[in-house]
Structure 1
C-alpha cells in the first residue's frame, strides 16, 4: 500500500513537472505540434536531473530568457523539437541538446557554454554572438547558420557540417574542426589561432581570413574540381593548426 502511494506521489510530481515544462516549451515554440510538445516535456521531466524546474510557466514568451524563469540551465533537452523557437539570450550552459532539432532557432546571445550539441540540427539557426565555448558540436548540422561573432573557443566541431555557415569574426581559438565541412562557409575575419583543421573540406567559395587561403592551399589536396581537403585525419595531429 505504501509503495503504491509513493508511486502515485512520484507520478503526480512527474505529471506536474511535465505540465510546467510543456508551458515553457509552448511559449518558446507555439507553432510546434501539440503532441510533440507533450512528449518532449514528459521526456525532459523523466530524464532531467536538475532541481531548477520552474514553479509556474512564464506569462510571456520573453520570460524564458530570464535565468529566474528559464530553468533551462543544465537541463536535458536531448532530442527536443525546438524548431523555430525564440531562445534569444537563453541560458543553456551545460545543457544536453544532443540530437535536438533546433532548425531555424533564434539563439542570438544565448549562453551555450559547455553544452552538448552532438548531432543537433542547427540548420539556419541564428547564433550571433552566442557563447559556445567548450561546446560539443560533434556531427552537428549548421548549414547556413548565422555564427557572426560567435565564441567557439575550445569547441568540438568534429565532422560538423558548416556548409554555407556565416562565421564572420567568429572566435575559433583552439577549436577542433577535424573533418568538418566548410564548403561555402564565410570565415572572414574569424580568429583561428591554434584551430585544428585536419581533414576539413572547403571549396573555392569558402572565404578565409586574410592571408590564410594560400597557406591552406599548400597543405590541401583537391579531391574534386574546386573542392579541397586539408591533409591528415587525426584530431591528435595538430600539424594543421593555424597560429
Structure 2
C-alpha cells in the first residue's frame, strides 16, 4: 500500500531578522499565517512580514507538560486585549488577528489549524510533553471546546532535535514506552537509544484522529544545523530560542 504521508519539506523565506521556515501543508491554507523562526531572526518581525502587518503574539510559560490554554474572543474581551501570560505547553487561539506561539531550541514545535472553526494551536513538545501526551491534549481541546473535527485538522512540525542526534537514557525510553503503546517504534537502538520526537507526536496525533495526509514535518534537525538553527544540547544550555507561530490573518 502506498503511504499517503507527505514527505518532509521546509521552505526558507525572508532575510536577516525576518528569516523563517514554512511547511507546505500549512502554507497551502488560504488566510493562514505560520512561521518557524531560525537562528538570528526576530519572531515579531518574521510574522509581520509574513502577514503584511503587525500581529499580536501570545505565548505561554512553558513547563514541559500537557496543560492546554484557550484564548477566544470572550477571553480577549474580558482582558481588554491580550490576556496575561499563563502556564502551559499548548495554546489554542480562536478567531483571527492574534498569533499563538511556542518557544523551542531542540523541543518540537507543532502548529495546528482548523479552517472551519478558524482555530489554531501552537504546541511545545519535548520528551516530557510527549510522554504527557500534549499534542493529543491540544487536539482533544480543539474538538471539545472549539468544535473542531480532528479529521479535518492540518498539522505541521517544525525543526527539532532529530533521531540522528537525540540520545536519551533508559529512563526516557521507559517513560515513553509506558506512556503510549507504539512508542517503541519511535526509539532507535544502538550504544545509546535515540528518540524520534516527530514520529512519536505524529503517532499521537494520528491516534487523536488527524489523518496521515494532513500532517507534515520540516525534517530539519536542530543539532545538525548550527548554520541555521538553535540547539540547547549543542550550545550546552546557552542557545537562544526559536519560535513556532500560527494565526488566521482574516
Choose between structure 1 and 2 for higher RCO, CA contacts under 8 A separated by at least 6 residues. 2
Q: Name the larger-Rg structure.
A: 1
Higher helix fraction (1 or 2): 2
TM-score by length of 2: 0.25
The structure carrying a bigger strand percent of its residues is 2
TM-score scaled by length of structure 1: 0.26
